[in-house]
Amino acid sequence: MAAQVYLDNAATTPLDPRVAEAMRPWLGETFGNASSLHAMGRQARQAVDESRRQVAALLNVDPGEIVFTASGTEADNLALVGTVQASPGRPCHVVTSQIEHPAVLETCRYLERHGTEVTYLPCGEDGIVSPLALRNAMRPVTRLVSIMAANNVTGVVQPIAELARIARENGALFHTDAVQAAGKLPFDLRAQPFDLLSISAHKLHGPQGVGALYVRSGLKLEPLVHGGGQEQGLRSATEFVAGLVGLGRAAEIAGSEMSAEAVHLIALRDRLIETIATHIPGAYLIGHRHRRLPGHLCLGFAGQEGEAIKLLLALDELGFAVSSGSACSAPHASEPSYVMLAMGFDALKARGSLRVTLSRFNTAAEVDRFLEVLPPLVRSLRPVSTRAQAPHLSLNLTRTFKS
């Protein structure tokens, strides 16, 4: 069997060999505790500090504003719970959206169980959260607005600069979950009114189990993890030096190669869109055509939404790793996607999408192999009774696809 073609980079990305190279010494002979006073400890501390500088450079912030965590999920939890718990006893209202990752949604539900009021903003059929809806949701007691930078299911990029401005004008803090966007879209936090921003190393060719939270200087958060006081007391625990070195190097590479990489990814993505629109009658794109991450596609096939898992498994058999757009974890793969339900899709359609996400390591040859396999596969899974209707469907949907 030919090597697997990996087209599931929104789930996780392969470790860049340059990142692995930077991490290698810290997984072997170099192993000091960054809090130790001896030479090996000081060497580890220097490595952690260097990583902090590299992550800060990616976001254009001060290194002292970066708090390392064990994941994007933990960064989101620290942002939300840490903000709310930093001012106990005051009435508290948080605004988020219905399409956030569970790392934010479930944390909001936790906060609701402990007395915080939460408003979940809807999104349009293009997957975008409206600034006007945010403006209308703001109240005097709104302490925090948390809206993701780019959605993990659709790849749709949110108008976060405008959303952040509205939060600030109304006296609230603004957090963005940039786990999908960091390293793919430029961030200049000195120029943008963001207070908190989460990232995760494994979405930008770094290691799994490492994340970071940008915390604007002067902002007070209540820590979630208590102990030896590492990370300015905000995240106690002995630092995972190898992981942090990996995050730092991954951030450095992403920062220096982002523009060239975007050109490569957009070319591959648009080749996928054009070919699929031409050769698969009834195919449609989920989410805004242009406001999307460079390498991210979420697709539906009209009349075949019930076959999405079959399609995914058939592609897997043929050596292509893609994902169902409906869920971020396998146990929920056959449930309708709450993101697509929020966009106004019915339950059947919301169960039946295919997510194809590219990275710097994907080649035009891989995309071409995928494009050879996908159209006949979709045709073969189409129920015989509906095959005749498909060209008719494509006339409408191809137009939607390209709009």
Q: In the stretch 297-336, what mask flags binding to ligand PLP with x, by CB under 6 A? A: -------------------------------x--------
Q: Which of 13, 116, 152, 326 binds ligand PLP (CB under 6 A)?
A: 152
196-225 residues near ligand PLP, rule: CB under 6 A: 200, 211
Smallest gap from Cβ 193 to ligand PLP, in A, equals 21
- Is residue 353 within 8 Å of residue 340, measured between CB atoms? yes
Candidate residues 22, 44, 56, 103; the one interacting with ligand PLP per rule CB under 6 A: 103
Q: What CA–CA distance (Å, rounded) separates 382 from 397? A: 16
Q: How far apart (Å, rounded) are the C-alpha atoms in residues 24 and 281?
A: 48
Write out the binding residues for ligand PLP, residues 71-100 only, by CB under 6 A.
Answer: 71-73, 76
Residue number with CB closer to ligand PLP (202 or 349): 202
Measured from each CB, the residue nearest to ligand PLP is: 72
Q: Which parts of 247-286 interact with ligand PLP (CB under 6 A)? A: none
Task: Say if CB 168 and CB 193 are below 8 A apart.
Answer: yes
Task: Kindly tell me which of 103 and 196 has the beta carbon lying closer to ligand PLP.
Answer: 103
- Shortest gap between Cβ of 337 and ligand PLP (angstroms)? 13
Which of 65, 177, 231, 261 touches ligand PLP by CB under 6 A? Answer: 177
Give a three-class secondary structure readout of the chain: CCCCEECECCCCCCCCHHHHHHHHHHHCCCCCCCCCCCHHHHHHHHHHHHHHHHHHHHHCCCHHHEEEECCHHHHHHHHHHHHHHCCCCCCCEEEEECCCCHHHHHHHHHHHHCCCEEEEECCCCCCCCCHHHHHHHCCCCEEEEECCCECCCCCEECCHHHHHHHHHHCCCEEEEECCCCECCECCCCCCCCCCEEEEEHHHCCCCCCCEEEEECCCCCCCCCECCCCCHHHCECCCCCHHHHHHHHHHHHHHHHHHHHHHHHHHHHHHHHHHHHHHHCCCEEECCCCCCECCCEEEEEECCCHHHHHHHHHHHHHCCEECEECCCCCHHHCCCCCHHHHHCCCCCCHHHCEEEEECCCCCCHHHHHHHHHHHHHHHHHHCCHHHHCCHHHHHHHHHHHHHC
Six token digits for residue 139: 């109240």
Shortest reach from residue 403's CB to ligand PLP, in Å: 26
Tell me, by CB under 6 A, how many residues bind ligand PLP: 14
Nearer to ligand PLP, 105 or 283 (CB): 105
Judged by CB under 6 A, which stretch of 17-25, 67-75, 121-129, 346-354 contacts ligand PLP?
67-75
| Nearest to 98, CA basis, from 337, 338, 277, 291 | 338
Number of Cβ atoms within 10 Å of the Cβ of 217: 8
Taking the complex as a whole, the smallest distance from the CB of residue 98 to ligand PLP amounts, in Å, to 14
Residue 54, exposed/middle/buried by CB under 10 A (0-12, 13-18, 19+)? buried
Q: Which stretch binds ligand PLP (CB under 6 A): 65-73, 113-121, 125-133, 346-354?
A: 65-73
**Least distance from ligand PLP to the Cβ atom of residue 160, Å:** 13
Cβ distance to ligand PLP smaller for residue 8 or 261:
8
Query: Does residue 67 bind ligand PLP (CB under 6 A)?
Result: no
- Write the binding mask 368 to 397 for ligand PLP: x where contact by CB under 6 A, - elsewhere: ------------------------------
| Catalytic residue status for 298 | no
**Piece of 18-26, 156-164, 172-180, 393-401 that binds ligand PLP (CB under 6 A):** 172-180
Of 156 and 390, nearer to ligand PLP (C-beta) is 156
CB nearer ligand PLP, residue 73 or residue 275: 73
Work out how close the CB of 286 gets to ligand PLP at its nearest, in angstroms, rounded to a whole number.
Answer: 16
Residue with tokens 């956030």: 100
From the list 108, 123, 298, 328, the catalytic residue is 328
CB of 198 or CB of 398, closer to ligand PLP: 198
Distance separating alpha carbons of residues 178 and 170, to the nearest angstrom:
22
179 binds ligand PLP (CB under 6 A): yes
Closer residue to ligand PLP (CB): 103 or 312: 103
Please tell me whether residue 180 binds ligand PLP under the rule CB under 6 A: yes
Catalytic residues: 328
Binding footprint of ligand PLP on the chain (CB under 6 A): 71-73, 76, 101, 103, 148, 152, 177, 179-180, 200, 211, 328
